[in-house]
Amino acid sequence: MMVDQNDEQLESNSIVVSQIVDDVSLDTHSYLGNSEDDNSQDIQSNLLTQDISPSSPDTREISTALALFRHRHRLSKSCINDLCDLLRSFGVANVPSDFRSIEKILIKNQENTLQSRKYIICSKCGNKGTSLSKCVDIKCESQSGFVSTPTTICTFKLLPQVTSILDRHNVMPEPDITNTNISDVQYGYARRNVIFRERMIDSKKNIVTMLLNSDGIALKKFSHSIWLTCMVINELPRAIRFNIGNVIICSISMGGNKPKKNQFQSFIKYWVFELQQLELGFHISPPNLHGHFIKVHAYLIAAALDKPAQALLMNLNDPTGYYSCVRCTIQGKGLEYS
């Protein structure tokens, strides 16, 4: 049997399947241990004494076992495909056709917290489309085909991500905002101001705050630019606050160049509207509430940005141009070229 060398590498889809499988507490995991014979003998003896005929495993149980087997022994996808063929040739029922089918079965019905919209931006006319090969506007020069790589922008729903993070962590005790020693963003002026203002309206209001970051990187080797905007929840402990599983993704831009201001501003409005909705409140059920729900209000209080990112998000002139300061109206010297 020929095995493709590319299949020997663990790809991102495999990681997703492994994470799902690790969370499934099935008896199929017992066969991966060192006491398979003892377990099988115990099961057989119990079945004989109880006079119950064992039922054949369904497709999902077999898929879980095969995914565990691959994850344990770091097998290739081609190997799992051949193993599926072998099991079917021996007459085993409910065996998936190949590894791709296993992925679909395990990922099916899993909650997707990254709900996104995807747009392709034409570099000539700035039109939004869905094609990576040409512009949808018949009057555009790129209607016959893009000359350069177009910009792809994905925006993500914020509420599913925020609730997913808060549902995984216990309700944190309210920090002492009277503490004048600012050792964390939770004790800063911006959060104190929000707490004071909102508690004047409702003294029992549950409040969480968020910090935004936006930055990009140019991959010169591949002639691509990636721009990411994300947020973190300040009330999480600092040790886990910036873990990848606790980061809220607002938008991702990919293309041949950095996104233009007018293009980026047209997409900011999507998650700005969601931020306004989060301020109105939503319900969560943290583990330490044992199934009870509480209403929480989320506020974006600050952003950590460098000058190019600040100009992009706030629609300012570039930092090398005139009138590029966010605090004053002094013209400045700009950047002179000889």
Sheet of 206-219: strands edge to edge? Answer: 128-129, 116-121, 151-156, 248-255, 224-233, 206-219, 294-304, 282-284
Q: What is the pLDDT of residue 280?
A: 93
Q: What is the pLDDT along the chain (338 residues), one digit of tens a residue?
A: 333 444 444 344 444 445 554 444 343 343 334 444 444 455 455 544 444 445 778 888 898 899 889 888 888 989 999 999 999 999 888 899 888 888 888 877 555 666 778 887 776 676 777 777 777 776 776 767 776 777 888 888 999 999 999 999 887 777 766 767 777 788 788 888 888 888 888 888 899 999 999 998 888 777 788 889 999 999 898 889 999 989 999 988 888 777 778 777 877 888 888 999 999 999 998 888 888 899 999 999 999 998 888 888 888 888 888 888 888 888 876 555 44
CB of 306 within 8 A of CB of 215? Answer: yes
R_g of the chain, CA atoms, integer Å: 27
The CB-side HSE value for 86 (13 A sphere, CA atoms) comes to: 8
Domain boundaries, the chain: 5-107, 151-304
Distance of CA 212 to the CA centre of its chain: 15
Q: What is the pLDDT of residue 110?
A: 59
Write phi, then psi, for 269 (nearest 5 degrees): -60, -25
Pairing mode, if any, of strands 206-219 and 294-304? parallel
**What's the rounded Cα separation, in Å, for the pair 27 and 49?**
20
| Alpha carbon separation from 191 to 136, 246, 284 (Å, rounded) | 45, 20, 21
**What's the rounded Cα separation, in Å, for the pair 290 and 37?**
40
Of 333, 231, 235, 244, residue with least CA distance to 284: 235
Phi-psi region of 74 (alpha: psi -120 to 50; beta: other; left: phi over 0): left
Q: What is the pLDDT of residue 335?
A: 58
**Which contacts (CB < 8 Å, 24+ apart) does range 11-15 have?**
13/103, 14/70, 14/77
Q: What is the pLDDT of residue 253?
A: 86
Of 160, 8, 169, residue with least CA distance to 74: 8
Residue 154 amino acid letter: C
User: Is 0.75 surpassed by the pTM of this model?
Assistant: no
- Could you tell me which residues are beta bridge partners of residue 206? 296
SS (H, E, C) the chain: CCCCHHHHCCCHHHHHHHHHHHCCCCHHHHHHCCCHHHHHHHHHHHHHHHCCCCCCCCHHHHHHHHHHHHHHHCCCHHHHHHHHHHHHHCCCCCCCCCHHHHHHHHHCCCCCCCCEEEEEECCCCCCEECCCCCCCCCCCHHHCCCCCCCEEEEEECCHHHHHHHHHHCCCCCCCCCCCCCCCCHHHCHHHHHHHHHHHHHCCCCEEEEEEEEEEEEEECCCCEEEEEEEEEECCCCHHHHCCHHHCEEEEEEEECCCCCHHHHHHHHHHHHHHHHHHHHCEEECCHHHCCCCEEEEEEEEEEECCHHHHHHHHCCCCCCCCCCCCCCCCCCCCCCCC
User: Which residues have C-beta within 8 Å of that of residue 170, sequence separation ≥ 6?
Assistant: 286, 287, 288
**What's the rounded Cα separation, in Å, for the pair 250 and 252?**
7
| Alpha carbon separation from 65 to 17, 18, 60, 81 (Å, rounded) | 12, 11, 9, 14
